[in-house]
Amino acid sequence: MHVLTVPETLDERSFETLAADLARADGSRVLFDARRVRWANPYGLVGLLAAGAVARQRSGDAPHLQAPESTDVAHYWARMNFFVHAADVFEPSRLARALRRPAAGESDALLEITSVRSPEDVHDVVDRVRERAAAILGHRLNYPPSAVVQFSVILSEVCQNVVEHAGAEGWVAAQTYNWARRLGRVVAVIAVADVGMGFRGSLAAEHARRYGERWSDATALEAAFLHGMSRYREPGRGQGLQGIRKHVARWNGEVLIRSGTARIAAVPDWDDLPPLESGLAEFPGAQIVVVLPEHKADDTKRP
């Protein structure tokens, strides 16, 4: 059995460590040791579910998961419905103790982890979030009422990406945090992950030939994210990711998409992520994170 140590801080950056270690498992059954985890954001949580699903696909056996020893962390994961979904991915006997832990009251999340399989799931997610989004975006992020519509569009598009392109189940979650050290303000984080065919597989039939030998995970991400290319021939299709990029840019936010062995990002001035990376550890499907920062009166960017 391959023992994989889950990073203490589990987010879009440390996910690369997780993906690389999983690749080294080489089809062996995996034990995910999350006992030392001290913090995880929505990307980390849905990414861990995706990693568990990949380990299950590669080995043919359900992986084991050792839950965080920190009571606070375990309670947060419970409030985000992580263990409910983990029971469908990981060996349930190892989760028995974690599943008995109390949820510690109502969550303050924008959206607890939710499965996405169909267009009906997408509509349900958007409907559930609309009321919370109006309160949180207005009171915590200082966004105008019109931003709630933009937020709903972003959420709908990242979920729709799973339905249209993955060919597999995905998970979505959203949460607000005070990034006091990193950004000095409150942020909303939306994350979605699936383990389907990914952008390269989804776009190959329509677009691989024109790229020839240059066709790769990276060029597929550029085609979809920067140029609005779609697997569909109908006019207007493929504009979803471009729309997300434009909406997020209005608020000086960030979008990162990982697929296969590459990831692409629209990076604001407050972060230092490279706009395009390739040669990453192979990981199926697509994983997306959107970060929307609090708006302050002296900000120069306006919606």
Residue-wise pLDDT tens digits, 262-272: 999 999 999 99
Residue type, 56: R
Note whether 152 and 62 are same-domain residues: no
67 alpha carbon, distance to own chain's centre: 20
User: Whose structure tokens read 């471009």?
Assistant: 242
CATH value at residue 28: 3.30.750.24
The sign of the CA dihedral 119, 125, 131, 133 is negative
Long-range pairs for 102-106: beta carbons < 8 A, 24 or more residues apart: 102/75, 102/78, 103/75, 103/78, 103/79, 104/75, 104/78, 104/79, 105/79, 106/79
Among the listed residues 117, 72, 62, 121, the one whose alpha carbon sits nearest the alpha carbon of residue 95: 62
Residues 254 and 222 in one domain: yes
Q: Which of 47, 78, 107 marks a domain boundary?
A: 107
pLDDT tens readout for residues 182-202: 788 889 999 999 999 888 888
Q: Is the pLDDT of residue 72 over 80?
A: yes
Last residue of a domain, one of 70, 92, 107: 107
**Quick one: DSSP state of residue 163?**
I
Are 20 and 102 within one domain? Answer: yes
Residue 301 has pLDDT above 60, yes or no: no
Q: Which two tokens stand for residue 250?
A: 């209005």
269 and 189 belong to one structural domain: yes
pLDDT at residue 303, rounded to an integer: 46
Claim to verify: residue 266 and residue 297 sit in the same structural domain: yes
Tell whether 112 and 97 lie within a shared domain: no
Helix (H, G, I), strand (E, B) or coil at 95: helix
Q: What's the CATH number where 196 sits?
A: 3.30.565.10
**91 and 138 together in one domain:** no
Residues 97 and 3 reside in one and the same domain: yes
* Mean of per-residue pLDDT scores for the chain: 86
What residues does 4 pair with on adjacent strands?
32
- At residue 233 the predicted structure's pLDDT band, cuts being 50, 70 and 90, is very low
Verify that 44 and 80 share a domain, yes or no.
yes
Give residue 75's domain range. 1-107
Q: Rounded distance, CA 75 to CA 100, Å?
A: 10
Strand partners, 255: 266, 290
Reply yes or no on whether the pLDDT at 237 is more than 70.
Answer: no
Whether residue 276 sits in one domain with residue 142: yes
Residue pair 287/257 in contact (Cβ under 8 Å)? The answer is yes
Residue where a domain stops, chosen among 107, 135, 163: 107
Domain count, the chain: 2
